[in-house]
Homo-oligomer: A and B are copies of this chain.
Amino acid sequence: MDCNSQSYILTITCPDTVGIVAAVSGFLRDKNYFVEESSHFGDRDTGKFFSRTRFSSNGGKWSELEFRRDFVPISAAFDMQWEVYDTARKPRAIIMVSKHDHCLNDLLYRYRTGTLCMDIPAIVSNHDELRGLAEWHGIPYHHVPVNEASKPEAEQKLLQLVKDCEADFIILARYMQVLSDSLCNKLAGQIINIHHSFLPGFKGARPYYKAHERGVKLIGATAHYVTSDLDEGPIIEQSVERVDHTHEVDDLAAVGRDVEAITLARAVKYHIEHRVFLNGLRTIVFR
């Protein structure tokens, strides 16, 4: 799927019962939409049903307004939380970084080459170091220093930027500041963080140092939604790489940079393709 393909994505979460897929697919057929991809999952634990359908208009005319209006009876009958997305409108991400640029560099490459179909209206950093990289990609760079005292003000600026940029979500690409509970709650499910360990191992600061001390044989990275509970948010993607006794802390960090970058890139891809669903503290990811 390239960034210019024209299709629509319908996402649904509702209580599981008989007839959901029949109702939805019947609706799409009656509208003469062609289903390109569909994934469904009923979770026995929570009794919830999750569904993602990508469809095209099959040559016909698309009206989001009409779709939204006509789908109401079905969504009401099954008590659905749902959304429909037009792929022609790319999701808009604000990327936040500090000084480490491996994840930023990777995301910008995928953005530049159309591997990640999103727009990046702003890069925000508490340092000024990565301005050159941002600007080479033609993306406005906002240097917003943060200390204990200025954090509320900095977060206020961020929220204003989200609004001004019409941003849909935020990517913490190794942003080394903890966000306030209030911000986490306000943007629940809209902030993706990359943590440089295989969670739940090595939460908090200096995970490579801890990994070295513990003598693990694999190091990992975890992309997750940010919640007010640090490093406890719903996991979207994880990867690991093999290491051994010859790896000092810096070597673990070097190996880890590749793992972090690819893990975050995958999570962002799943998110912008609307493949991720929240299921309590866990996620459904229709890959």
Contact = CB atoms under 8 A, between A and B. Distances in A.
A71 interface: no
A58 interface: yes
Interface residues of A, number: 69
Contact of A262 (B251, B258, B287): B258
- Is the contact region of chain A dominated by helix, strand, or loop, or is it mixed? mixed
Interface in A232-265: 234-240, 244-246, 248, 250-251, 254, 257-258, 262
Contacts of A200: 201-202, 214, 216
Interface in A247-287: 248, 250-251, 254, 257-258, 262, 279, 281-285, 287
B248 A214 contact: no
A45 B213 CA distance: 10
Given A18-B34, A21-B21, A200-B201, A218 B238 contact: yes
Given A22-B25, A244-B285, A245-B279, A235 B217 contact: yes
Contact of A41 (B22, B237, B245): B245
Contacts of A127: none
A1 B246 CA distance: 11
Contacts of A202: 200
A214 to B, nearest CB: 6
Contact of A21 (B35, B45, B236, B240): B35
A7 interface: no
Interface of A: 1-2, 18-19, 21-23, 25-26, 28-29, 32-45, 58, 101-102, 105, 109, 113, 115, 136, 198-202, 213-218, 220, 234-240, 244-246, 248, 250-251, 254, 257-258, 262, 279, 281-285, 287
Given A215-B235, A217-B236, 13 more contacts: A18-B35, A21-B38, A22-B22, A23-B29, A25-B25, A35-B42, A44-B248, A105-B109, A198-B240, A199-B216, A200-B202, A200-B214, A217-B285
